[in-house]
Amino acid sequence: MAVAEQIITAPLTKPRLRRAPLSLASFASYLQAIPLTLILAFFLLVPILFLLVVSFWDYDFARMYPGFITRNYAEVLGSWVTWKTYLNTLKFAVIVWAIALFIGFWVAYFLAFHVRSAAMQTVLFLICTVPFLTSNIIRMISWIPVLGRNGLINTTLVNAGIIPQPIEWLLYSDFAVVLAMVHLYTLFMVTPIFNTLMRIDKSLIEAARDAGASAWQIMWNVILPLAKPGIAIGTIFVVTLVMADFSTVQVMSGGQSASVALMMKNQMSLLQYPSAAANAIVLLVLVLLLVAAILRVVDIRKEL
């Protein structure tokens, strides 16, 4: 216990040694960073490196055979079906991102600039946050009674005489997939944008107005540039979540649409692990490239 106390409290007592490289304080930092390092090393780094190895292995219906073959990659990169699946996933990412950005920005803008009391801001923000902390699958299947052939929307429209027969593409279509993804992931856009908007000094806006800027100019030249970091962080969240999604695509398209992760999941259920691993590596490289591109726009470490 005494040791634990020392580990926890040591940094608080030695701030003046901050710059000394081998001080007791930096030793404490190492000790404090050990649990995080070990967990991420064992459950993130090692498994991914292992997948890289496995992606070169051979396999049959029963087991995997260690080796070094490039057939798994040849299958991934050489197949027109796989390319179409990757393009389809990117298509979902772009559409969902654009819609989430539009909704997320205006919701955050409303909360940050139009709601005047801090208490009201907190309450409204919590209302937006609560669904995020409930089950994704439940939120997804809750669209079924709304969108289905005999669902709420179709029944209402038919009974009102607006349409002669139920609309078929509401559920089990790309439309349903995009709708459910926007429903699931827009919050990841609202939160970071709200966070950056809240930190904009209101006097900057007043100064712009006093200098004769129109509402449009204030938005374009003052608010948007300052909101860029939040938009970037939200973009990282939404894009990576959509790129990784298999359940929404599976449930909401009724098996009619495909995504990379869904393809991986099917390979996994057929025990084609090396094949799935090759897909995992390609997907990972693609996602990391996208994130790296976004990070060029903004240093998120400064923004926390």
Partner 1 sequence: MHREKRTLGFYVLAAFFVVFVLFLYGPFSAIFILSFQGPSGGLTFPLNGVSVHWFFNLFEQQAVGNFGASFGRSLMLGLMVMVTTVIVSLLAGLAFRRKFTGGSPLFYLTIASLVVPSIIVSLGIGVLFQQIGFRPSWFTSAFGAHLTWTLPFGVLIMFAVFNRFSPSYEEAARDLGAPPWQTFRHVLLPMIAPSLIGVGLFGFSLSYDEFARTLLTAGTFNTLPLEIYGMTTNVTTPVLYALGTVTTLFSFIVIGGTVGIIALLGARRARAAL
Interaction residues for partner 1, span 14-53 (CB under 8 A): 15, 18, 21, 25-26, 28-33, 35-37, 39-40, 42-48, 50-51
Among 76, 96, 183, 278, interactor with partner 1 by CB under 8 A: 183
Which residue type, as a one-letter code, is found at position 68?
A: F
How many chain residues interact with partner 1 (CB under 8 A)? 93
**134/138 Cα distance (integer angstroms):** 8
In the bound state with partner 1, the residue whose beta carbon lies nearer, of 90 and 103, is 103
**11/32 Cα distance (integer angstroms):** 10
In the bound state with partner 1, the residue whose beta carbon lies nearer, of 12 and 62, is 12
DSSP string of 160-184?
TTSSSS--GGGSSSHHHHHHHHHHH
Which residue type, as a one-letter code, is found at position 193?
A: I
The 67-106 contact track toward partner 1, x by CB under 8 A, reads ------------------------------------x--x
> Which residues between 248 and 287 bind partner 1 (CB under 8 A)?
251, 261, 264-265, 268, 273, 276-277, 280, 283-284, 287
Burial of 290 (0-12, 13-18, 19+ CB in 10 A): middle
Stretch that binds partner 1, among 73-81, 91-99, 147-155, 160-168 (CB under 8 A): 147-155
In the bound state with partner 1, the residue whose beta carbon lies nearer, of 38 and 77, is 38
Considering only CA atoms, which of 238, 244, 257 is closest in space to residue 84?
257
Helices 24-40 and 2-13: angle between axes, nearest 10 degrees: 120
**160/108 Cα distance (integer angstroms):** 35
In the bound state with partner 1, the residue whose beta carbon lies nearer, of 142 and 217, is 142
Which residue type, as a one-letter code, is found at position 226?
A: L
Q: Which residue has the tokens 């798994």?
A: 72
The H or E element spanning position 59 is strand 58-59
The 107-146 contact track toward partner 1, x by CB under 8 A, reads x-xxx--x-x-------x-xxx-xx-xxxxxxx-xxxxxx
Among 120, 152, 163, 270, interactor with partner 1 by CB under 8 A: 152
In the bound state with partner 1, the residue whose beta carbon lies nearer, of 155 and 217, is 155
In the bound state with partner 1, the residue whose beta carbon lies nearer, of 139 and 228, is 139
Nearest-Å Rg of the Cα atoms of the chain is 25
> Which residues between 200 and 239 bind partner 1 (CB under 8 A)?
215, 236
